[in-house]
Amino acid sequence: MGDAIFRQRSGVLGVGIVSKCGLLTPAQLAGLGKLAETTGCQYCKMTTRQTLIFLIPSDRLEELRKGVAALGLRIGVFGEIVRNVKACAGNKDLCQRALSDVFNLGGELQDRFMNRPTPRDFKISVAGCHRGCTDPYCADYGIVATGEDTYNIYLGGRGGSRKPVHGTLIAEGINGEGAVALLESILKTYTECAEPKERICNTIERVGLERFLPSEDFLAKYRSREESDFLSFAGLGG
């Protein structure tokens, strides 16, 4: 594990820069442009995980580090850890289709979990509606908003491989607090059950999904207000 800094075959360094859910303020954008020029950056590359790669000469790394921190951004992480959270710009200002404020939920998840050691790299994706622009169905832990502070959770997906795997729906209609609590519990189970360097989809295949499923009590405790109202309306309790 370590910082997302990779020496390219040409000798230049590729340095991954992370913001909150891929969003930049105008000041950050302008600051990055200036930093690209002063650090001799050849190109800036946008990645599918919402990071920005600066390709710089290796002797400019410290200068870039300081500049990135001064802009309130951070260098990404790599290895057997929780990666930066890929979350869509889903809130009332940022996407007209957003059903919930996933921008803030994504930021909270990133602050809390990014860089935490895991048996193998662990990717979290959050989407503000079922369209899933951030690929939550192929993430290790995918969160999809279905209403105001109401989420479905998918576990054990895997993208970016020759054998892509769709995650399995493991919880429906829980609130954001529940999505965070369930992730805590899943990371604990994953760490206890996994073989070294085993991706969670393979751990699930080996030990069974049941080990990871939330209990009925958990689901009831974190049921969203919208889901509770619906169940009451349908005469199903809640």
Q: Which residues of this chain interact with ligand SF4, rule CB under 6 A?
A: 88-90, 95, 97-98, 127-129, 131-133
Cβ closest to ligand SF4, residue 55 vs residue 98: 98
Nearer to ligand SF4, 45 or 130 (CB): 130
Nearest distance from C-beta of residue 20 to ligand SF4, angstroms: 15
Q: Considering the complex, state which of residue 118 and residue 134 has its C-beta at the smaller distance from ligand SF4.
A: 134
SS3 132: coil
CB of 235 to ligand SF4, least distance (A): 31
For residue 101 the two structure tokens come to 């404020």
- Taking the least distance from each CB to ligand SF4, the nearer of 47 and 189 is 47
Q: Give just the sign of the alpha carbon dihedral 132, 200, 185, 188.
A: negative
Shortest approach of ligand SF4 to residue 201 CB, angstroms? 22
Whole-angstrom distance, CA of residue 43 vs CA of residue 143: 32
78: enclosing H helix or E strand? strand 77-78
Q: How far is the CB of 43 from ligand SF4 (least distance, A)?
A: 26
SS3 84: coil
Is residue 201 helix, strand or coil? helix
> Residues for the chain: how many in total?
238
